[in-house]
């Protein structure tokens, strides 16, 4: 399944400050099981080596299964969100996507668990915190996690059964569903071609940045399998056969070709025994030759230009992508880390190469990236929204810039800032959700691409060594060796061609109609019969006993508890609010300043957003742009500057804040505050050239975002109807803002002073200690320092009365809206607030969210119509249903319109409902890191949410009944009647469905 969207991520767009709780891990925490000595045998596994993983404060043990050679890495720590992952090395021998289809088929059904949608049952109906599978360059990986050890053991069994014991009876239908199939409901209907992976890849490759990535691979690795797309190209996927997939499986899905990673606080001995007894003991060691496609370094730099299809109406001027990429052969672990940091140094907005690029007018925005997830890793310089005729200038500029750096040297303070930042970020990996899953997949990638299993054990040590060597021109030497003296490089130019999108779409349509016209009646009858048989198979309901057999946790066992943090909430003598939370961490802390922006007049809101986008990017009284960038990197880790609404009372009221947040080391807190003060008080808005460059880059970034990630703009606009806070967010940061920037880009040339005056005005409206809130999360001993030091900021601010402005008349998108972008697939959404639907939010709705997705929407949309992902998200404001990479529009909305009838006619038992309850409970209580948890406690103080509220929701989830589900019928009726409907997709498809929309607009 490549990509399942996180709903938290989706909603973060509009609810940037609403957090969910998590249950206490401590209640059931058990002591860690002692680790074995090297050489010790446990259930057929030999202990090969033990080590430390400083990265996440853990121990690691590498086991090798004697009979098969299968490797298993156990990472031991106290994390209760335990995970298991199995990976196989899988070379992309062509572009037909056999690897990807196999991944989808494996995870859909197994011999012991013969469901047709196994992964969705795990995801939606078990006590799991993560379940997915990914096709990556050179490997396929299957990660799963749970808060319960019993449940993880069960899911390990399910996952291993999926990869080792595939379903026999469902196999051919699964291939039709996941790869491709013809559809012909009756002899008069048009012949169509669909399939989950086919549509997924149409969407995945349907944007210019993916096309550019492919172009780079072809240029760097001509004729090698390294240039193949492991996940498949639609035109090749439709040639794929069932037999090819099975052959691939028989070759590579073998224990001798596998790596397992087990993570967290578990009795690893039980896992080893189960894995050996049920699976590995049945296999013998096998030699499996895995092609890597490694080629001899190119002797001469290559150049390659390809066309990218866009609609006839698209503006193709300055819309190309130019990439200049370098490949590396046989690099050491340390240099791999070094090249990653080097790319970060070069990617800084004020690095010498970026400064030179910004002066050039070659492109709209630039980036430097490093990717080690290839046999031969790649470092790429990119210009997006570029003028393709300037390709030679781009290459020369980079070559010259690299030579200059090598002779004059990097600014060592800038280098040191990047390394410190890398070290702090990597030392706090456990703050992110799904730590075990994320780490396991990274380890699998290094194993598959470089054969290394201890890259992450050595990572912190390697960063520290590089830090020591930096003074001695380590990075300059790296540049000389890997860039200046490296001919294994290529210039790849990807150019949009207007009208090619329609041409290809029409060719595809014509191909299918010609195909149909040429078929005999007998052939047509066969396809009609196949379509019918497929649909019958697809509509068969799953056997509830199989879903039941996935369970290892009972509802009665679920702990109704919320982890609490000790918080202090006080005011300084002049009214600034100080909020702090004690976290059980070392020296790391996180802080934020929230300035009330309600005094900004409605007409000036886009200048407020611009102010936030520019914050810290212009020079100040005491720092040049470059010095400031270095200081920010050094002291404000993970810094974010944005407009965030804090909502009270279910989002019907909100306060807009300009939020400055960062992570740092407690002993440097004063330096962090002094730096923020410098930006707040002393920013120079009068440098019109710098301003123009930043506005241009922002326009380019937004333009790329709309084409590469259409879902973001779809949700922003669709949800704008849900409440006033979302209307505000859409207006301030969505298409209205983009159009404002396009105009500003022109105005800045004719009247540069006007914009500076507006920004100064915003700065004056924000700089105020009235309604200022400051937050701090860190260890107990550092909180006093926070309370004392915050004066650095507060003493410098004026105290003024705020006149709150009325934002009640902000424009909203049409209730039924189509938005045309360059895309070969669609993204559809419908949403409505509880207020509009006349109901109130309760935790009892949360199990219904997954129930309708799993039992109704996903079978119809994904398995029926081939839409890649269905998103259903209920939060405390309202409900949303959306489709991702969808071939259709009308059919999808028809499926949503069938929701009330589905609820009315559903045959639901409490036993079935209980499984959705388990999953909703697990979702709502998924843990986060210690600091992140403390931060969320602070935000809850701010929005007035109490621990009791969360306990109430947990209790409501647990007590959901069949009658509650039936009672939601009226809500869904109202959802369909009062919801807002939006689609982002190809212009042609939107026009074919124009009756569905009040308005269709195109993004310029
Ligand atoms: Zn996929």
Question: For the residues of 552-613, what is the DSSP string, one character each?
Answer: ---GGG---------EEEEE-TTS-EEEEEE-S-SSEEEEEEEEE-TTS-GGGHHHHHHHHH
| Cα gap 794→798, rounded to integer Å | 8
Distance CA 151, CA 564 (A): 25
The set of residues, in sequence order, having a beta carbon less than 8 Å from that of 746 and lying 6+ positions away, is: none
> Which among 847, 884, 915, 709 is positioned nearest to 151, based on CA atoms?
915
Long-range contacts of 406-409 (CB under 8 A, 24+ apart): 406/476, 406/479, 406/480, 406/484, 409/473, 409/476
| Token couple for 336 | 């791999």
**Distance, CA 19 to ligand 1 centroid (Å)?**
29
Query: Greatest CA span in the chain, whole angstroms?
Result: 88
Angle made by CA atoms 612, 616, 619, in degrees to the nearest 5 = 125
What distance in Å separates the CA atoms of residue 557 and residue 690, rounded to the nearest whole number? 59
Rounded distance, CA 820 to CA 800, Å? 45
- Measured in Å, residue 143 CA sits from the centre of ligand 1 at 14
Q: How far is the CA of 83 from the centre of ligand 1 (A)?
A: 21
- The residues with which 579 forms a beta bridge, in sequence order, are 569, 775
Whole-number Cα distances in Å, 953 to 207, 469, 561, 957:
41, 53, 11, 6
Three-state DSSP class for residue 700: helix
Which of 164, 179, 184 is CA-nearest to residue 88? Answer: 164
Contact 883, 892 (CB under 8 A): yes
Cβ neighbours for 303, distance < 8 A, ≥ 6 positions apart = 219, 391, 490, 491, 492, 493
Cα separation, 597 vs 349, in Å, equals 28
Query: Is the Cα dihedral 353, 357, 358, 360 positive or negative?
Result: positive
Q: What Å distances lie between residue 958 and 127, 415, 556, 850, 947, CA to CA?
A: 13, 52, 9, 14, 17
pLDDT at 649: 55
State the pLDDT at residue 890: 97
Question: How much is the pTM?
Answer: 0.89
Q: What is the distance in A from the centroid of ligand 1 to the CA of 200? A: 6
The neighbouring-strand residues paired with 826 are 886
- Tokens standing for 567? 């918080």
Determine the distance separating the centroid of ligand 1 and the alpha carbon of 104, expressed in angstroms.
6
Per-residue pLDDT, 202: 87
> 872 alpha carbon to ligand 1 midpoint, in Å?
19
Ligand 1: centre distance to CA 2 (Å) = 4
Give the distance (Å) from ligand 1 centre to CA of residue 529: 27
Q: Cα angle at 16 between 757 and 708, to 5 degrees?
A: 80
> What gap in Å lies between CA 580 and CA 935, rounded to an integer?
9
Give the Å distance between the CA of 724 and the centre of ligand 1.
36
pLDDT for 841 equals: 93
Distance (angstroms) between ligand 1 centre and the Cα of 850 equals 20
SS3 state at 872: strand
pLDDT at residue number 311 = 86
- Read off the DSSP letter of residue 49: E
| Spatial distance between the Cα atoms of 252 and 140, rounded to a whole number of angstroms | 10
CA distance 932 to 642: 18
CA–centroid distance, residue 675 to ligand 1 (Å)? 45
Tokens 């005011």 belong to 571
Residue that is written with structure tokens 């035109």 in the block? 235
Distance from Cα 138 to the centre of ligand 1, integer Å: 15
Distance (Å) from CA 177 to ligand 1 centroid: 12
Please tell me the distance between residue 1's alpha carbon and the centre of ligand 1 in angstroms. 3
Q: Exposure of 689 by Cβ count < 10 A (0-12 exposed, 13-18 middle, 19+ buried)?
A: exposed
Strands 567-571 and 320-327: unpaired
| C-alpha pair distances (Å), 516 with each of 180, 238, 510 | 17, 16, 10
Cα–ligand 1 centroid distance for 178 (angstroms): 9
Expressed in angstroms and rounded, the spacing between residue 5 Cα and the centre of ligand 1 is 12
CB < 8 Å & 24+ apart, contacts of 859-864: 859/117, 859/538, 859/539, 860/895, 860/898, 861/886, 861/892, 861/895, 862/196, 863/116, 863/117, 863/177, 863/196, 863/538, 864/535, 864/538
- CA dist 171 and 105 (Å) reads 8
Distance CA 510, CA 518 (A): 12
Length of the chain: 1004
Spans of the chain, pLDDT less than 70: 1-30, 649-652
Tell me, in angstroms, the distance from the centre of ligand 1 to residue 730's CA: 30
How far does the centroid of ligand 1 lie from the alpha carbon of residue 987, in Å? 26
Res 876: pLDDT: 81
CA 935 to chain CA mean position, Å? 21
Other beta carbons within 10 angstroms of residue 533's beta carbon come to 12
The Å distance, Cα 179 to ligand 1 centre, comes to: 10
Q: Compute the distance from residue 233 Cα to the ligand 1 centre, in Å.
A: 12
3-class DSSP state for residue 191?
Answer: coil
Q: How far is the CA of 3 from the centre of ligand 1 (A)?
A: 6
Radius of gyration of the chain (CA): 28
């Amino acid at each position: 399944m490549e990509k399942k969207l996180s709903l938290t991520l989706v909603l973060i767009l509009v609810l940037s400050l609403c957090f969910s709780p998590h249950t206490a891990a401590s209640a059931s925490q058990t002591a860690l099981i002692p680790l074995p000595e090297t050489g010790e045998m446990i259930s057929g596994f030999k202990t090969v080596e033990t080590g430390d993983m400083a990265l996440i404060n853990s121990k690691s043990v590498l086991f090798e299964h004697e009979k098969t050679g299968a490797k298993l890495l156990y990472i031991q720590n106290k994390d209760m969100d335990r995970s298991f992952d199995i990976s196989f090395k899988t070379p992309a021998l062509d572009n037909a996507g056999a690897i990807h289809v196999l991944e989808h088929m494996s995870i859909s059904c197994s011999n012991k668990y013969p469901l047709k949608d196994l992964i969705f049952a795990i995801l939606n109906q078990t006590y799991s915190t993560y379940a997915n599978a990914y096709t990556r360059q050179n490997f396929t990986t299957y990660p799963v996690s749970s808060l319960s050890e019993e449940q993880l053991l069960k899911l390990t069994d399910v996952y291993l059964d999926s990869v080792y014991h595939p379903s026999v009876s469902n196999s051919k239908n699964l291939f039709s569903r996941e790869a491709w199939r013809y559809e012909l409901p009756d002899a008069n209907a048009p012949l169509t071609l669909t399939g989950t992976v086919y549509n997924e890849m149409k969407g995945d490759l349907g944007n210019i940045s993916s096309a550019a990535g492919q172009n780079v691979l072809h240029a760097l690795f001509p004729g090698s399998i390294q240039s193949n797309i492991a996940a498949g190209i639609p035109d090749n996927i439709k040639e794929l056969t069932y037999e090819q997939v099975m052959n691939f499986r028989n070759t590579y899905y073998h224990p001798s070709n596998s790596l397992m990673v087990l993570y967290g606080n578990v009795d690893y001995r039980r896992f080893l025994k189960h894995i050996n007894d049920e699976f590995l003991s049945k296999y013998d060691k096998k030699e499996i030759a895995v092609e890597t496609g490694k080629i001899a370094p190119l002797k001469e730099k290559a150049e390659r230009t390809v066309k990218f299809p866009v609609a006839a109406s698209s503006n193709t001027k300055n819309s190309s992508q130019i990439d200049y990429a370098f490949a590396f052969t046989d690099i050491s672990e340390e240099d791999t880390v070094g090249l990653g940091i080097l790319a970060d140094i070069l990617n800084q907005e004020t690095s010498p190469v970026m400064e030179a690029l910004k002066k050039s007018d070659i492109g709209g925005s630039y980036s430097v990236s490093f990717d080690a997830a290839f046999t031969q890793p790649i470092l790429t310089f990119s210009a997006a929204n570029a003028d393709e005729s300037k390709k030679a200038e781009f290459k020369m500029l980079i070559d010259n810039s690299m030579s200059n750096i090598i002779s004059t040297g990097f600014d060592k303070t800038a280098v040191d800032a990047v390394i410190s930042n890398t070290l702090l970020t990597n030392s706090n990996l456990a703050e992110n959700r799904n730590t075990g899953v994320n780490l396991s997949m990274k380890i699998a990638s290094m194993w598959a691409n470089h054969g290394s299993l201890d890259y992450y054990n050595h990572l912190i040590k390697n960063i520290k060594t590089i830090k020591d060597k930096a003074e001695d021109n380590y990075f300059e030497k790296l540049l000389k060796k890997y860039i200046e003296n490296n001919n294994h490089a290529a210039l790849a130019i990807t150019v949009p061609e207007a009208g090619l999108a329609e041409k290809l779409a029409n060719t595809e349509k014509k191909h299918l109609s010609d195909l149909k016209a040429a078929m005999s009646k007998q052939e047509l009858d066969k396809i009609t019969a196949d379509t019918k048989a497929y649909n019958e198979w697809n509509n068969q309901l799953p056997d509830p006993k199989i879903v039941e057999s996935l369970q290892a946790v009972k509802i009665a066992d679920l702990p109704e508890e919320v982890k609490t943090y000790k918080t202090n909430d006080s005011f300084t003598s002049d009214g600034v609010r100080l909020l702090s939370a004690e976290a059980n961490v070392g020296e790391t802390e996180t802080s934020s300043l929230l300035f009330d922006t309600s005094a900004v007049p409605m007409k000036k809101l886009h200048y407020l957003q611009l102010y936030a986008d520019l914050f810290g990017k212009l020079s100040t009284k005491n720092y040049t742009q470059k010095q400031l960038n270095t200081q920010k990197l050094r002291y404000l880790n993970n810094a974010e500057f944005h407009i965030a609404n804090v909502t009270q009372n279910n989002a019907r009221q909100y306060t807009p804040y300009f939020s400055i947040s960062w992570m740092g080391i407690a002993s440097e807190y004063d330096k962090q505050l002094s730096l923020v003060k410098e930006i707040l008080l002393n920013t120079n808005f009068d440098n019109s050239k710098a301003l123009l460059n930043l506005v241009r880059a922002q326009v380019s970034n937004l333009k790329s975002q709309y084409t590469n990630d259409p879902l973001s703009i779809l949700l922003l606009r669709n949800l704008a109807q849900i409440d006033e806070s979302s209307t505000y967010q859409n207006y301030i940061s969505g298409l209205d803002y983009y159009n404002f920037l396009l105009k500003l880009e022109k105005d800045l040339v004719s009247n540069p002073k006007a914009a500076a005056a507006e920004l100064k005005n915003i700065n004056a409206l924000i700089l105020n200690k009235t309604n200022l809130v400051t937050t701090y999360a860190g260890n107990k001993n550092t909180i006093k320092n926070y309370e004392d030091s915050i004066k650095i900021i507060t003493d410098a601010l004026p105290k003024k009365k705020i006149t709150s402005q009325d934002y009640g008349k902000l424009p909203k998108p049409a209730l039924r809206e189509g938005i045309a972008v360059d895309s070969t697939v669609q993204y559809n959404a419908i949403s409505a607030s509880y207020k509009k639907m006349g109901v109130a939010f309760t935790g009892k709705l949360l199990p219904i969210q997954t129930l309708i997705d799993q039992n109704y929407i996903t079978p119809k949309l994904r398995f029926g119509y081939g839409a890649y992902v269905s998103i259903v998200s209920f939060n405390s404001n309202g409900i949303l249903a959306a489709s991702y990479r969808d071939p259709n529009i009308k059919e999808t909305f028809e499926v949503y319109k069938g929701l009330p009838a589905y609820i009315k006619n559903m045959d639901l038992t409490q036993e079935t409902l209980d499984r959705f309850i388990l999953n909703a409970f697990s979702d709502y209580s998924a843990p986060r890191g210690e600091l992140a948890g403390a931060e969320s406690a602070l935000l809850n103080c701010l929005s007035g949410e109490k621990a009791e509220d969360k306990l109430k929701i947990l209790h409501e989830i647990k007590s959901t009944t069949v009658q509650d589900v039936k009672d939601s019928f009226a809500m869904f009726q109202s959802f369909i009647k009062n919801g807002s409907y939006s689609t982002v997709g190809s212009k042609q498809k939107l026009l074919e469905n124009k009756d569905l929309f009040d308005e269709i607009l195109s993004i310029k």
